[in-house]
Amino acid sequence: MSLRLLILLLPLLFAGCLAAEGVYHPVKEGETLYRISRVYGVDELYLARINGIPSPKGLRAGTSIYIPGASKVKDVGKASSSPSSRSKSSATAKRKSPASASRKSSSVPMASTTVPSGSSPRFAWPLRGALLRSYGAESKGVEIAASVSSAVQASAAGRVIYSGDGIRSYGNLIIVKHSGDYFTVYGYNQKNLVTTGSFVSQGEKIALSGTPPGGGSTRLYFEIRRGKDAVDPRKYLP
């Protein structure tokens, strides 16, 4: 079976148990991690961990966080403020001049700009190394040089829909499904560290780098796909 066919079939084969692989929630002004966790029914500390947020107070408007198991983006709404905080903000507003108030209001839309739920996740390099092979007509992905047993990290948060060695030419292979119908593919692994069905956070260690089945130096085979079609990873990576 080809990799392209596998990516086409896996979401259908696992439709019953993986229907809600997760969504990216665009954080708006006034939303808190606690309130988001309550609306989606996911533990607050778990959300912080899989999204790499060191503290629940570190959530910023304009970013997007991954909500595992959710099937659609929900309206969270602003957290209600206490009477004392409302009176303080009211008094502060009265002291501000019209000019400064105007400047602040004009800057708010830029600060609260969010990424639509259907847009691509913010991908990161799965490991750092020289590019041994680039994306092109003869390769649907890139090959990145690595030391033996280097940590391979998830490029973005998502759900593992395949972890195994059943696809010829790729060795131990991992496929992660992300929001917006995006997939990332990690091949030539010496060892897979995650199992099918598990959620992974961006930067989480998911495999150890290995060598291609046909031999050669240690490297990682990496793809980004939108639906069934492979795309140039370098256009999506920082």
| CATH number (domain holding residue 74) | 3.10.350.10
Give the model's pLDDT for residue 7.
66
Average pLDDT in the 22-50 region?
Answer: 89
pLDDT band, very low/low/confident/very high, at 11 (cuts 50, 70, 90)? low
Average pLDDT in the 49-71 region?
Answer: 83
Give the model's pLDDT for residue 82.
40
Contacting residues for 210 by C-beta, under 8 A, at least 6 apart = 148, 149, 171, 172, 188, 189, 190, 191, 218
Residue 206 has pLDDT above 70, yes or no: yes
Residue type, 107: S
Bridge partners of residue 186, in order along the sequence = 174, 222
Mean pLDDT computed over every residue of the chain: 80
> Which of these three, 48, 77, 111, is where a domain ends?
111
Q: Which residue has the higher pLDDT, 87 or 216?
A: 216
Instruction: Flag whether 125 is in a domain.
Output: no
Q: What is the pLDDT of residues 143-181, one digit of tens each?
A: 999 999 999 999 999 889 999 999 889 999 999 998 878
Average pLDDT in the 92-120 region?
Answer: 40
151 and 90, same structural domain?
A: no
Give the model's pLDDT for residue 187.
98
Give the integer Cα–Cα distance in Å for 20 and 56.
Answer: 24
Domain of residue 49: give its range.
20-111
126 and 142 Cβ atoms separated by less than 8 Å:
no
How many domains does the chain contain in total? 2
Q: Which residue has the higher pLDDT, 203 or 83?
A: 203
221 and 138, same structural domain?
A: yes
Average pLDDT in the 178-194 region?
Answer: 94
> Which of these three, 82, 111, 140, is where a domain ends?
111
Residue 94 has pLDDT above 60, yes or no: no
Q: Residue 219's domain is classified under what CATH number?
A: 2.70.70.10
136 and 65, same structural domain?
A: no
93 and 38, same structural domain?
A: yes
Give the integer Cα–Cα distance in Å for 63 and 92.
Answer: 27
Instruction: Provide, rounded to the nearest whole percent, the portion of the chain with pLDDT above 70.
Output: 74
Give the model's pLDDT for residue 8.
64
Cα radius of gyration (the chain): 21
Look at residues 173, 168, 214 and name the one whose alpha carbon lies nearest to residue 190.
173
